[in-house]
Amino acid sequence: MAIKTLGLVSAHPVKSFFVYMLTRDIGLQDAILDLLDNCVDGVQRSETRKHLDKPRPYAGYWARIVLSEKEFRIEDNCGGIPWGLHDYAFRLGRVKQDIDKGRRMIGTYGIGMKRAIFKMGSDCIIRTHAKDASYRLRFSPEWMSDESKWDIGAEEIAPAAERGTSVLVRGLYPAVSQRFSSCAFVNAFREALSTHYAYIIGKGFTVYLNGEPVRPKQVRLLFAEQGDKSFVTHRIAPFIYQAEHGGVDVFLAVGFTRDIPSKDEAEESFEDYKERYSAADAGWTVVCNDRTVLYCDRSAVTGWGVSGVPQYHMQFIAISGIVVFSADDANLLPTTTTKRSIDAQSELYLQVRDKMIEGMKLFTSYTNAWKGKELVNTSRSEFRKTSTADLSELRAKSSRLDMTTTRGAIAGRQYKPTLPRPVPTRTEERISFSRPTKAIRQVSKHLFGTPDKRPSEVGEKCFDLISEEAKG
């Protein structure tokens, strides 16, 4: 029997559903950071590998972000979007997976810019000036609502003085407009920029938020140098681990950022405690291709409360670590699709986390050993005589350390410092001597009314009586 053809069944995506699904699992702040990632990726495409390997490869490059009740704007001078890449840049999803091969990008899925636009509003104009073309296109409200229309027209525009891109989003959704007009949101976003972009800003990139430059917040670890007063008496240094595995370079360092609290201080109420101590630098920061994807995490994801490491407590407020993953293929990095979190099931990350745990144990052990009131004062005094190092300085110092080779699933090299231990203070001494049995029994009968007490009891009683008399 012949099979009768009834016709074609459409499997085309529904635009509104596609847009909804793209934006539902990402926060507004992270969506904007995706756009900033695109700026930095533009520098990666524009510059040579030799230039990008310099200590400050982003010097001279900038991005300006403006948040207001009526619109969102981001513009940069990072090279623009070449016309030859328009299909890659504006389609919903990436087709050419190897287009950025050899470049240390963070984007892997081709959805960041579109997702950010759809998250904020219904009308977006993009202008870009690249080496091969200057052009403009618009995601209009009509395009957003037309389920059958997927193509967008591009118009040629006059070249600008600098190559770069601007994204203007209007028709902001009410909730987005309200947040952009909130000082609390703007201040929180500035804080996020200062931490998540600390290492890129440290490499010369400039980020402006509503006209003001963002100041980076980098983790600095105590690292005793030859000229420090504490170098001989109380040498503090971080645990460092380096490896290369499957196309990913790994650099890890964990140590102290500041002096440790005493046991009593750590047990104070949080409200009183935070007035004098900040937890802002405590925990683990994870960086992938220069972007911070976790900042000062203090959960099991980074090893707290795992494999013998205690749960995070205010007692460990001085302990901080940083892990840097770098790869020419961003698909190899242990990140989630939002690029603001770690894929905790990544085999690479789980192996590196074992080293994070090994390093943490050194510093939680030190904190426990020195938390007594008098001991912690000694520790503080020595910490204040010790130098600190940021990420670039840690890398430079590690090249001069006597590192040992490690084996296991990921072979690498590590430096495990020998941290100072308190000098034990003995509060008791043992007294031991022999006397004739007959004499011991006589003293026993005299003290206890029976000759049968154990010699140790007799000795202890004799000492206690003389001790009381001596105090007299």
pLDDT in tens, 325-383: 999 888 889 987 666 688 889 999 999 999 999 999 999 999 999 988 788 889 999 99
Contact 207, 193 (CB under 8 A): yes
What pTM, to 2 d.p., does this model score? 0.77
pLDDT at 109 over 50: no
What is the sign, positive or negative, of the torsion defined by CA atoms of 42, 46, 50, 54? Answer: negative
pLDDT at 106 over 70: no
φ, ψ of residue 183 in degrees (nearest 5): -60, -35
pLDDT digits (tens, 9 = 90+) for 56-100: 999 999 999 999 999 999 999 999 999 988 877 776 665 555 555
Contact 287, 322 (CB under 8 A): yes
* Rounded Cα gap, residues 33 and 26, in angstroms: 11
Work out the percent of the chain whose per-residue pLDDT is above 90. Answer: 58
In the numeric block, which tokens belong to residue 332? 């190899």
The closest alpha carbon to 437, from 425, 453, 426, 423, belongs to: 453
Which whole number is the average pLDDT over 117-138? Answer: 93
Number of residues written out for the chain: 472
pLDDT at 320 over 50: yes
Which whole number is the average pLDDT over 298-327? Answer: 94
pLDDT digits (tens, 9 = 90+) for 407-460: 888 889 999 999 999 877 666 778 888 999 999 999 999 999 999 999 999 999
The Cβ of residue 233 has, within 10 Å, a number of other Cβ atoms equal to 13
φ, ψ of residue 109 in degrees (nearest 5): -110, -15
